[in-house]
Amino acid sequence: MSIKEIIRSKLPPSFLRFQDDWRGRYALSREQKLPFSSISLRRFATIDINNIWQDNNIHQYWNEDHRIIGDIFGLGEYNLAVSPDCRQTIYFLTMGLRPKRVLEIGTNVGGSALYIAAALKRLESGGKLVTVDIVDVNHPASAPWVDFGMKNSPSKYAKELNLDNISFHKSDSIEFLSKCDEKFDLIFLDGDHSPKTVYRETSLALKRLSEGGIILLHDYYDGLRQFNPNGEYIIPGPFVACKRIHSENPEIEARPIGISPSGKNQCNVTSLALLGRVGP
């Protein structure tokens, strides 16, 4: 262990988090201004979240798919994976927004990917999910899923669930978005949560949106206490990045989704937010 690592190990976690937060904000402040076009971004005025949440058909499909996925993948919390409330919210959004092509940045153990793919298969038009991670999440030798307490790789879970509409890719998010020539109706950003990376990812993601497409963000915390009632650390990156993006293009705004479709109280508040276009 180096001297630097020894010193860092002696510092209180709160100080280290403050230090990491400061470094992230400083790195973003040094980042050159990027283009943020809202031309393809869907307007919030065309999205009725309450209507989606109250759709009885979606609730029925959710109950069926959630049971099937849960029997194989599990229903609980997993380290660094999206929470059960977030999984339900992502499923409902996919059903309600009806995208044909979805891009996910940050596969991890595949929790969100399985629910997106299941929802896409329910739609009459079908749909395709492209999911990207900087790590080869399905590598048989390194088996990264074991570190997160999972029994199988994301691709094996997908195969067991008959979800053949998922395409897995190993790539850095910036590189993938820069080279990709496809268009997507929904882009889910859940990779590197540093302010600088989210800022750069969003600029590129906007170019990859189909007309009327929308961006979904994970770990978007706008300072509301219900996210950290115990004083636990929250990830500031997506909020900090979106704050700068909005200042540079006021038409682009991030709006927290709030309570999940079946949620009853503040315990079911998700950290998801939609990035859309304001105005009529």
The predicted structure's pLDDT at residue 4:
59
How far apart are the C-alpha atoms of 216 and 41, rounded to whole Å? 12
Q: Where are the domains of the chain?
A: 31-277
How far apart are the C-alpha atoms of 237 and 86, rounded to whole Å? 18
Please compute Rg for the chain using Cα positions: 19
> In the chain, at which residue ranges do the beta strands (DSSP E only) sit?
101-105, 128-133, 166-170, 184-189, 209-217, 252-256, 273-277
The predicted structure's pLDDT at residue 48:
97
List CB contacts of 202: < 8 A, sequence separation 6 or more.
36, 189, 215, 241, 242, 245, 275
The predicted structure's pLDDT at residue 209:
98
User: What architecture does CATH give domain 31-277?
Assistant: 3-Layer(aba) Sandwich (3.40)
* Contact present, 213 and 185 (Cβ < 8 Å): yes
- Which of the four pLDDT bands, split at 50, 70 and 90, describes residue 264? confident
The predicted structure's pLDDT at residue 224:
47
DSSP code at position 33: P
Residue 260 pLDDT > 90 = yes
Q: Give pLDDT tens digits for 168-227.
A: 999 999 999 999 999 999 999 999 999 999 999 999 999 999 999 999 999 998 764 444
How far apart are the C-alpha atoms of 103 and 116, rounded to whole Å? 10
The predicted structure's pLDDT at residue 33:
97
Residue 100 pLDDT > 60 = yes
How far apart are the C-alpha atoms of 126 and 39, rounded to whole Å? 26
169 by Cβ neighbours in 10 Å (0-12 / 13-18 / 19+) ranks as middle
Closest CA to 254 of 204, 209, 207, 198: 198
Q: Give pLDDT tens digits for 20-63.
A: 888 989 999 999 999 999 999 999 999 999 999 999 999 999 99
Average model confidence (pLDDT) for the chain? 90
